[in-house]
Chain A
Amino acid sequence: MSQQDTGPPMRYSGFNVIRQGLSGNKGWTPAWRDPAPKAEYDVVIIGGGGHGLSTAYYLAKNHGLTNIAVVEKGYLGGGNIGRNTTIVRANYFLPGNSEFYSHSLKLWEGLEADLNYNVMHSQRGLINLFHSDGQRDAFVRRGNAMINQGDDAILLDREGVRKHLPYLDFEQTRFPIYGGLLHPRGGSARHDAVAWGYARGADQRGVDLIQNCEVTGIDVSGGRVTGVQTTRGAIRAKKVAIIVAGRSSQVAAMAGMRLPIESHVLQAFVTEGLKPVIDHVVSFGMGHFYISQSDKGGLVFGGDLDFYASYAARGNLPMVEHVMEAGMTLMPMIGRAKVLRSWGGIMDMSPDGSPIIDKTGIEGLYLDCGWNYGGFKAVPASGWCMAHLVATDTPHEYAARFRLDRFRTGHLLDEEGTGSQHNLH
């Protein structure tokens, strides 16, 4: 159905919910069109995940470019954007990362009004626990970096943590809780609503969202990109942006590139719905475990990678066991909750744990990848900065250090200080 058939884009509002409810909910229109690909676009974005959709949205909104297609091999929101554990935070430390995630959080804070879409952004506060003097020092330093950036951080001692999280096992001797770093503006959001909100906003500005359309080749001639080959035919394009997360290496290889990326599986878990019990996002400092409670009541939790390169969107049992053990160590009260589902997503791990938003050696071909397991919170700023790069051919000031060649030149952004190994970030 095209927009002409449905009239002007529908605005969502409380008034509209009541009006539609009273008229049998028959007046809702599709949130976006389902167009067939045109022969040519100014910009083709490969990948309809969070980052591809936000890039399309800001290209249209900030730069007035609307002759754009987002080409997605599956359905919108079926990749990592619909598989993550939805933590949104701005608690980064290194110059380069700090200003970028700070900008992203500010965009989150205005996102629902901007998109006219309820993404259920909830600033419920994030508490990172620490369990030793050394960890406390590191968190003091991180908290100061956050405050210097203009964001918020509060150091809690043990009693301060107890006030917020009385249900933790404070009495244990193995991993005593020394305190926590509280980031009050941190929180969560509804993952697929973010994809849908950006999709709808881009569509309303004229962007074609083309689903079930896999890119199988990138056409380059004389050092310039000229278009893409897809399962729904060839599409010519003046500019092409690769924004495909875990599949970055395969798509970049279509243009002859070898990327500093290794793909790994990250698992997550959700329990049956429970009454409200966990008000914050909490992370354990002594094992791989973090948790929050969704608005439906499920406890959503996860841990670290399975640690070996993998494209299987499911994980192995050792990490399941580790995550459960760590959760039980920290908050034994969750032991009775039944796990409903577990799943995995394929993460584009970079050798320093920081992303890439850059041009490539091929004119008109751009790359946005390397989100590791932190790319959900980055969706707004990544789209903002990637759109700026694609539209103006210059890096945005907040993403100026996310260069593709920084590995070769030694300008790494190793936030965790774990060294050049893709699975350690």
Chain B
Amino acid sequence: MRLTCPLCGPRDRREFYYSGSADYLTRPATDDAAGWDNHLHLRDNPAGETRDLWYHETGCAQWLLVTRDTVTHVISKVELVAK
């Protein structure tokens, strides 16, 4: 599997660290218990298109938002989290 980093181009999967679902981008307020449950634990976990966070660990050290298919492993979009 390869991901096309917007900064580095197509790179081997081994250069990236998978963190988890894009739910990690929604940061709840400190006293929002349900929000934290959504942030840390609950997942849509689709069999099909999903969006998740990858870190280009041995490349540009950017966090990436990846749109891909969990059944076919086809990657359709890779964006920088930091705009």
Could you tell me the distance between the alpha carbons of A312 and B47 in the complex, rounded to whole angstroms? Answer: 9
B45 touches A420 (CB 8 A): no
- A408-B34 contact, Cβ under 8 Å, with A250-B47, A262-B20, A310-B70: yes
From residue A25, how far is it (CB to closest CB) to chain B in Å? Answer: 42
B70 touches A312 (CB 8 A): yes
Q: Tell yes or no: B44 within 8 A of A by CB.
A: yes
From residue A215, how far is it (CB to closest CB) to chain B in Å? Answer: 15
Measured between beta carbons, the chain A residues less than 8 angstroms from B12 are 318
From residue A250, how far is it (CB to closest CB) to chain B in Å? Answer: 6
A330-352: CB near B (< 8 Å → 1, else 0) gives 00000000000000000000010
Measured between beta carbons, the chain A residues less than 8 angstroms from B71 are 310-312
B19-56: CB near A (< 8 Å → 1, else 0) gives 11100000000000110110011111111001010100
Residue of A nearest to B1 (CB): A316
From residue A304, how far is it (CB to closest CB) to chain B in Å? Answer: 12
Interface size of A in residues (CB-CB distance below 8 Å): 25
- A258-B43 contact, Cβ under 8 Å, with A309-B52, A311-B71, A423-B18: yes
A259 touches B43 (CB 8 A): yes
Measured between beta carbons, the chain B residues less than 8 angstroms from A247 are 47
From residue B11, how far is it (CB to closest CB) to chain A in Å? Answer: 12
- A407-B13 contact, Cβ under 8 Å, with A262-B21, A307-B18, A311-B71: no
From residue B26, how far is it (CB to closest CB) to chain A in Å? Answer: 14
From residue B10, how far is it (CB to closest CB) to chain A in Å? Answer: 15
B37 touches A407 (CB 8 A): yes
- A421-B20 contact, Cβ under 8 Å, with A310-B70, A310-B73, A408-B37: yes
Q: Tell yes or no: A12 within 8 A of B by CB.
A: no
- A259-B40 contact, Cβ under 8 Å, with A311-B70, A316-B1, A423-B18: no
From residue A413, how far is it (CB to closest CB) to chain B in Å? Answer: 13
Q: Tell yes or no: B72 within 8 A of A by CB.
A: yes
Partner of A262, one of B13, B14, B43, B72: B43
B20 touches A422 (CB 8 A): yes
From residue A263, how far is it (CB to closest CB) to chain B in Å? Answer: 6
A261 touches B19 (CB 8 A): no
Pair count A-B, CB < 8 A: 73
From residue A205, how far is it (CB to closest CB) to chain B in Å? Answer: 34
Partner of B14, one of A261, A318, A351, A420: A318
- Which one of A258, A316, A318 has the greatest number of beta carbons of chain B within 10 Å? A258
Measured between beta carbons, the chain A residues less than 8 angstroms from B72 are 312
A251-274: CB near B (< 8 Å → 1, else 0) gives 001000011111100000000000
B20 touches A423 (CB 8 A): yes
A309 touches B70 (CB 8 A): yes
Could you tell me the distance between the alpha carbons of A342 and B36 in the complex, rounded to whole angstroms? Answer: 38
Instruction: Tell me the chain B residues, 46-68 only, with Cβ under 8 Å from chain A.
Output: 46-47, 50, 52, 54
Could you tell me the distance between the alpha carbons of A421 and B19 in the complex, rounded to whole angstroms? Answer: 8
Could you tell me the distance between the alpha carbons of A261 and B47 in the complex, rounded to whole angstroms? Answer: 12
Partner of B42, one of A259, A311, A312, A316: A259
Could you tell me the distance between the alpha carbons of A90 and B20 in the complex, rounded to whole angstroms? Answer: 30
Partner of A408, one of B20, B41, B73: B41
Q: Tell yes or no: A167 within 8 A of B by CB.
A: no
A345-361: CB near B (< 8 Å → 1, else 0) gives 00000010000000000
Given A250-B45, A311-B47, 19 new contacts (CB under 8 A): A258-B42, A258-B43, A258-B44, A259-B45, A262-B45, A308-B18, A308-B52, A309-B45, A309-B50, A309-B70, A310-B70, A311-B70, A311-B71, A312-B70, A316-B1, A316-B13, A318-B13, A351-B41, A421-B19
> What are 18 of the A-B contact pairs (CB < 8 Å)?
A249-B43, A249-B46, A250-B47, A262-B45, A308-B18, A309-B18, A309-B50, A309-B52, A310-B70, A311-B47, A311-B70, A316-B1, A316-B13, A318-B13, A351-B40, A407-B41, A421-B19, A422-B43
